[in-house]
């Protein structure tokens, strides 16, 4: 069965500092990987996705993520965080069509707190 682990429930980062959110997955075939962000009371917004090709993918709002097959990881990074980045972040894995037909499996989320 597929699964996603986000080891950090909460992370606190100072504004302007760099950020890395960890994600490890378990999937029996080629994974399609996603990062979503959720602001309080809102739905999920797609930050970026990996289907194939270059293992370093760029997303919106200055985020990037790197797919490392050997480590089964897909960590999210940002070089300098802004107060508006405070939110809940979810990593997800899907099947052959990117979860388009058969649903996604989500991690439990990482709550990002930004210190002034």
Partner 1 sequence: DVKVTQSSRYLVKRTGEKVFLECVQDMDHENMFWYRQDPGLGLRLIYFSYDVKMKEKGDIPEGYSVSREKKERFSLILESASTNQTSMYLCASSSETQYFGPGTRLLVL
Does 113 help bind partner 1 (rule: CB under 8 A)?
Answer: no
Cβ proximity of 11 and 77 under 8 Å: no
114: three-class secondary structure by DSSP: strand
Least distance between partner 1 and beta carbon 27 (Å): 15
Interface of this chain with partner 1, residues 13 to 52, rule: CB under 8 A: 32, 34, 36, 41-46, 49, 51
CB proximity list for 10: less than 8 A, separation 6 or greater: 110, 111, 113
Comparing CB distances to partner 1, the nearer of 6 and 114 is 6
8-state DSSP, 78: E
Comparing CB distances to partner 1, the nearer of 52 and 70 is 52
Does 95 help bind partner 1 (rule: CB under 8 A)?
Answer: no
Least distance between partner 1 and beta carbon 68 (Å): 21
103: left (phi over 0), alpha (psi -120 to 50) or beta: left
Does 109 help bind partner 1 (rule: CB under 8 A)?
Answer: yes
8-state DSSP, 17: S
Footprint of partner 1 (CB under 8 A): 9, 32, 34, 36, 41-46, 49, 51, 90, 92, 94, 97-109
């Amino acid at each position: 069965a597929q699964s996603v682990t986000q080891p950090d429930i909460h992370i606190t980062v100072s504004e302007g500092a760099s950020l890395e959110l960890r994600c490890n997955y378990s999937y029996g075939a080629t994974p399609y990987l996603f990062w979503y962000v959720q602001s309080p009371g809102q739905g999920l917004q797609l930050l970026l996705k990996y289907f194939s090709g270059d293992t370093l993918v760029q997303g919106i709002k200055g985020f990037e993520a790197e797919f490392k097959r050997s480590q089964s990881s897909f960590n999210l990074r940002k070089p300098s965080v802004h107060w508006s980045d405070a939110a809940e972040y979810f990593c997800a894995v899907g099947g052959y069509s990117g979860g388009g037909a058969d649903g996604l499996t989500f991690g439990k989320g990482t709550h990002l707190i930004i210190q002034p």
